[in-house]
Amino acid sequence: MSGGTGKNAFSVVGGGAWGTAIANHLAANGKSVQLWAYEKEVVAEINSAHTNTIFLPGISLDERLKATGDLAAACSAGMIFFVVPSHVMEGIINKMIPSLGKDTIIVSATKGIETKNLRLPSEIFDALLPPEMAKNLVCFSGPSFAKEVGLGLPTAITAASRSQASAAAVQDAMSNSKMRIYTHDDLIGVELGGAVKNVVAVAAGISDGLKLGHNARAAIITRGLAEMTRLGKAYGARADTFSGLSGIGDLILTATGDLSRNRTVGIRLGGGETLSQITDGMKSVAEGILTSKAIFELALKKGADMPVCREVYLVCHEGKAPKEAVADLMGRKLKGEFY
């Protein structure tokens, strides 16, 4: 099945919860759209029952949405939303390249950092795509639980690009009475916000799992924002980006919302479960787990002080006890709030 081809057609690569929600929103907004999913059962269910019970249960999908297992067919669209976990990005992009048009706008909705080479999604695209295509890349990020988008609840998101025209095209395609899109030019800052917030959300979840109270959670979110901004400055991003939707907006949502996979992982870690016990039963990736390792290494590389993110890495990957991590955070040398 095909959702159409050419400049006025849209595709979404990635049939998880967020990819399905984006594709459904586009279809409901009157766009010709097809969704590529790796899982054959997901493709079959979307086309026959108009649901995706594996990744987005409880949501009835627009009957105009068509799914496909043919990646080349999905790449014939004029605008492609790319929604796959960061650790499999490179392999999928390489498979897409032969089928992409020179004017295709790629919209990266992946939130994370590649652990192998410590690259942001845009850096991976820049390395793999021809320059004339890479300049049209758009980063799509902000406070947006997939389930709530699927339910048609009000949502605001940032579309950032080095090309004002490309960002505006995404704004036009996605905006309606249920979703408001803002454009931005700080591609790197928007990506960093979407990556770091997942790690801070794990920290907030650990605090909640340990029953440390609302004061502690608020402190973690605030200091996590400071760490996000610090890393952003080291990258040359704009500080004010992190006061926007892709920074503090997404951070608040992911660190406090009950639908947050990253917060849920933290709660269970704080409650005494091991990471392997938690992840063995998860259908969808909690990006904060892998991203915590990348952030830890990036902070060392960039000389950015990120103690909250560092403790999340130590708990997730070095077996540090959550209570010990809290004690070490609270026992650090005293200093001024801003420096």
The catalytic site residues sit at 197
- Strands in 77-82's sheet, in edge-to-edge order, are 66-68, 32-36, 6-13, 77-82, 105-108, 138-141, 155-161, 179-184
Distance CA(317)–CA(206), nearest Å, equals 14
- Give the dihedral of Cα atoms 83, 88, 93, 96; nearest 10 deg: -80
Residue 68 token pair: 């496909």
Task: Let me know: does 120 contact 246? Beta carbons within 8 Å.
Answer: no
Distance CA(198)–CA(204), nearest Å, equals 10
Which of 179, 289, 112 minimizes the C-alpha distance to 171? 179
Tell me which DSSP letter residue 159 carries.
E
Distance CA(84)–CA(110), nearest Å, equals 6
With residue 160 as reference, give the H or E element that holds it: strand 155-161
